[in-house]
Structure 1
Amino acid sequence: MASVRLRVALACGMVFLLAGALLLATVALVVRHNLEPRDGLRHPRYIDVAYVRYMEWNHEYRVAEQRVAQVRRVYQADTVQNVLTVGGLALLVTAGVATAAGWRLFAGWTLRPVRSVAVSARSIAQSHDLTGRIAHDGPQDEVKELADTVDTVLARLARSFDGQRRFVANASHELRTPLTINRTLVDVAVRRPDATEDVRRLGESLLLVNARHERLIDGLLALTEGEQAVLHRRPFDLTDVVEHVLDLAGKEAGEREVVMHRLLDPAPTAGEPVLVERLVQNLVENAIRHNHDGGQVWVSTRQRADRVELVVANTGLPVPPYEIETIFEPFRRLHGDRLRSDRGSGLGLSIVRVVAEAHGGTVTASSREEGGLTIAVELPREEP
C-alpha cells in the first residue's frame, strides 16, 4: 500500500545499495589479491642465491619466515575486514542519502506530470464543469495515455449529462403547457354560475392535483438547473435571502398555526442567489408542511472561519435515524405519505442537496428527540 513517491524513493535506495554492495565486494577482492605475496618480493634479485639457500636450511630463518607469513595473513584479513566494515557503513549512509534524494528530487521530478494531471482533474471536479479537459501536453507515455483516457471519460459524461438535462427540461416545459390549460378550464368550470356543488368539489380536487403536478414539474426544472455548475458567482448575504423567504412563508405558517423563530446573523457567501433562494424556500416549506398544527420552526444563520451555516429545525413526527439519508433521495417521503399533495412532490430536499453541492457546500440532517428534523446547510464564506 506504499505510495508511488515512496516506491520511487525506495527503488533509488535499493538500486544504490545493490550497486554499492557489488562495488564493495569487488574492492575487497582486489585488496585481498594485492596483499598476496609475490615471488619477486620473497627473494630479491640482488641477494645471492647461495646465501638464500643457506638461510633456507637454517632453522631460525624458517621460524622467522613462518611468523612473517602469519603476520601477513593477519594483516591481510584485518585490511579486508576494515575495507568491508568502513565501506559497508559508508554504503548504508549513502544509500539513506540516495533514498532521501529519491524522495525529494527524483520522485518529484518523475511524478511532476502526474501531479499536473491530478491538479487539472481536481480543478474540473471542483468546478462541476464537465466541459473542462486535462489536455496534457507531453510525450506519448503512460501519463499521456492516462490523461487522454480521463478526457475521453469526461467527454462521454458531459454528453450523457447534457442529454439528460435537455430531456428533463424539454419534458418539463412540454408538460407545463397542458397543465396550465387544464387549470384554466377547471377554474372556469368551477366559477360558472350554474355549476353544481359536486362539480365545484370535483373541480377543487382537480385543481389540487393539477397544482401538485405543477410543483413536480417546477421541482424537476430546479433539480436540473441545480445540477449545473454555478459558473458566475455573485457575492450576497445569505441572511437577506433567508429573511425574504421567511416573509413569504409567513402566510402559510399562520394558516397552519406554526410559530417561526428567527436568529439571523450576517452570513456572506457567493453563488447564484436564485438557486440559493430555492434551497431556503424548500427547507422552510418542508419544516412547515411536515409539522403539526401549533408546531414550531427555528431558522438561524451564522458565519464561521471559512463557512456560513443555515440551520432549519422543526417539530413534528419522530424521524428514525435510518431514514435520515433516504429523505434526500428524489420522490422519497417520510412515513410513506404519497397521497397528501399539500406536502410537496418529494423533490424538496433533493433540490437542497444538489444546489448546496453545486455551490461547494454540504447538507446534513439529524432527528430531534422531541420529534421533527434539524437540517444544516454549510456554504463557502466569501466577503463582499
Structure 2
Amino acid sequence: MRITLQARLTLIYGSLFLVAGLVLLGVTYALFTQRLTGGVKILATTGVPANAGALNGDTAEKMMRDEQARMREAAMTSLFTQGGVALAVVGGAAAGFGWLVAGRVLAPLHRVTDTARRIATAADRSLHERIALQGPNDEVKDLAEAFDAMVEQLDRSFDGQQRFVANASHELRTPLTLGRALVELAMHRRSASDDVKQLGESLLEINSRHERLIGGLLLLASSETSLTDRVPVDLADVVSHVTGQLELEAEKAGIKVSESAREAPAEGNALLLERMVHNLVENGIRHNVEGGWVQVSSRTRQDGRAEVEVRNSGPVVPPYEVQALFEPFRRLGGDRLVTAAGAGLGLSIVRSVARAHGGEADAHPRDGGGLTVTVTLPGSR
C-alpha cells in the first residue's frame, strides 16, 4: 500500500500532538496528586480543629484520607475521561490542520511532478514547458529551478539533434545522388565497355545500400524525437497493405508469406506504423532460409491493446542474442557490415516507433529457428 508524503507528514504531526497531550495529562495528574497528598499531611500535623466536635484525631484523619481518595478518583475521571475526549477532538482538529498545511507545503512538489509527467507523456515530446515556480526562496524553489535548468538543457540538446539530422540528411544524400547520376551516365554511354557496366552496377548497389542506411538512420532519429500527429489507424489494414507490397520480394526470395489480419484499432502516425510493420515483415523475409515462411497477424487483445505479431522460420537464434538485435547495426553473430540483407536498423526502428506510440516491441526465438516478434500499442480510444 502506497502512503503519500502528505499522509506521512499528517501522521507525524498528529502523533507528536497526541504524545505531547498525553504527557501533559500525566504531568497535570502527578502535580494534582502531589498537591492533594501535601494537603492531607498538613492537616495530620496541625491536628483537628477545635470545632471538630466529637471527632477525635484518628477519625478526622480517616475522613481526610477518604476525601483524598474520592478527590483522586474524581480527578482521574476528569483528567482521563473528559480530558481524553477533549484530547481526541483537539488531536483530530490538529491532524486536519496538519493535512492542510502539508498539502500547501507540498503543492510546489506536486507542480513539479505534474510538469514532469506532462513532458514525459506529451505526444510531441515537447520540452518547451517550464515550472517557473514563484514563491519563497527555499529548498522547493531550488528543486523547481534545477528541474527547469535540466529540461532547458535537454531541449537545446534535442533541438540540436534535430538540426543535425536535417543537415546530415542534405549533406549525405546530395553526394549519393550525384554519384548515382555520374555512374548511370557512365554506364549508359555508347562507348561503355562491359567492364565499365559491371563496375557501374556494383557501384549502384553500394550506393543503394548507403541510401538505405541513411534513410534508416533518419527514420530512427525522427521516430525517437517527435510524434506530432495522431490519427485512428487499423493495424489490420496496415498488415494487408504491407504484405501486398512485399509479395514480389517474398516470391523472389522463395519465402511464403501468409497473413491473418483481424481488426486492431490504434492511434498514431500512419506512415511510421506502416514503416514499422514493413520492417517486421521485411526482416522476416530477408533473414530466413530457402523455402521458409513468414506469418503476419494483427488482433485486439482482451486488455484493449492492439497487437501485431510476425513469426518466421530461419536460422536458430540464441536467446541471449535476441535483445541485442533491437540495437542499431546489430545482427546475429555480431556482424556490423552493411549487406544486401539490410543496414541493421530494421528492429531498432520497430522498437523506436512502438515506444513513440506508447507501446513496446519484444521478440522470442522459435524452436527450430527463426523469431516471433510482437508489437503492442495502446488501443484506439
Partner letter of residue 227 of structure 1?
E
The structure 2 residue matched to 1:378, chosen from 348, 373, 376, is 376
Q: How does 1:1-384 map to 2 (within 5 A)?
A: 3-29=4-30, 31-32=32-33, 35-36=36-37, 49=50, 61-79=56-74, 81-82=76-77, 85-86=80-81, 90=85, 97=92, 101=96, 105-127=100-122, 128-304=125-301, 305-339=303-337, 341-382=339-380
Residue identity matched to 1:147: A
Moved over 6 A (4+): none
Distance in 2 between residues matched to 1:90 and 1:354, nearest whole Å? 62
Ranges in structure 1 where 5+ consecutive residues have no aligned partner: none
Q: Give the deviation of 1:226 after TM superposition.
A: 0.9
SS of 1:135's partner is: coil
- How much does 1:339 deviate? 4.2
Between stretches 268-277 and 288-297, larger displacement belongs to 268-277
Number of residue equivalences: 373
8 Å CA contact 1:5–1:111 kept in 2: the answer is yes
Q: CA-to-partner distance for each residue in 1:78-112, whole Å, 9 max, x for gaps?
A: 44554565478658856984686478655444433
One-letter amino acid of the counterpart of residue 355, structure 1: V
| Contact persistence 1:330–1:347 (CA under 8 A) | yes
Map Cα deviations across residues 258-278 of structure 1 (whole Å, 9 max, x no partner). 111111112222222112122
**Alpha-carbon separation, structure 1, partners of 2:313 and 2:88:** 68
Distance 1:92 1:352 in 2: 63
Is the partner of 1:343 in helix, strand or coil?
coil
The more displaced of 322-331 and 103-112 is 103-112
C-alpha distance in 1 between matches for 2:333 and 2:64: 100
Amino acid at match of 2:182: L
- Inter-partner Cα distance in structure 1 for 2:36 and 2:61: 16
2: CA distance between counterparts of 1:327 and 1:103?
Answer: 54
- Distance (Å, rounded) in 2 between the aligned partners of 1:180 and 1:310: 35
In structure 2, do the counterparts of structure 1 residues 38 and 335 end up closer, same or farther at CA, with 3 Å as the change threshold? closer
SS in 2 for 1:309: strand
Aligned-partner residue type, residue 199 of structure 2 = L
Give the letter for the 1:31 counterpart.
F
Distance 1:48 1:207 in 2: 129
Separation (CA, whole Å) in 2 of partners of 1:48 and 1:365: 102
Task: Report the Cα distance in structure 1 between the residues aligned to 2:49 and 2:185, rounded to whole angstroms.
Answer: 144
Post-superposition CA distance 1:135-155 (Å, at most 9, x none): 344444433332222121111
CA contact (8 A) 1:262 1:300 kept: yes
1:116 Cα shift? 2.8
Is contact 2:158–2:225 with CA below 8 Å preserved after alignment? no
TM-score, normalising length: structure 1: 0.85
My pick for the range that moved more, 139-148 or 298-307, is 139-148
Displacement of 1:37: 6.8
Cα distance change on mapping 1:378 and 1:102 into 2, 3 Å = farther
CA shift in 2, pair 1:339/1:35, >3 Å = closer
Structure-2 separation of matches of 1:89 and 1:292: 83
Displacement after TM superposition at 1:23 (Å): 2.6
Is 1:259–1:295's contact at 8 Å kept on the other side of the alignment? yes
- Aligned counterparts of 2:97 and 2:326: Cα–Cα separation in 1: 48
Q: CA deviation at 1:338?
A: 3.6
State the percentage of identical aligned residues. 45
How far apart, in 1, do the equivalents of 2:96 and 2:335 lie?
A: 65
| Structure 1 stretch displaced more, 18-27 or 352-361 | 18-27
Secondary structure class of the residue paired with 2:340: helix
Matched position secondary structure for 2:369: coil
Unaligned runs of 5+ in 2: none
CA shift at 1:205, angstroms? 2.4
Distance (Å, rounded) in 2 between the aligned partners of 1:345 and 1:103: 61
Task: After superposing the two structures, state which structure 1 stretch, 251-260 or 374-383, moved more.
Answer: 374-383
- CA change 1:18–1:298 in 2 (3 A) is same
Cα distance in 2, alignment partners of residues 256 and 192 from structure 1: 32
Q: Which moved more, 1:140-149 or 1:157-166?
A: 140-149
Distance 2:373 2:165 in 1: 28
TM-score (norm. length: structure 2):
0.86
Displacement of 1:72: 3.9
Task: Quote how far apart the aligned CAs of 1:113 are.
Answer: 3.1
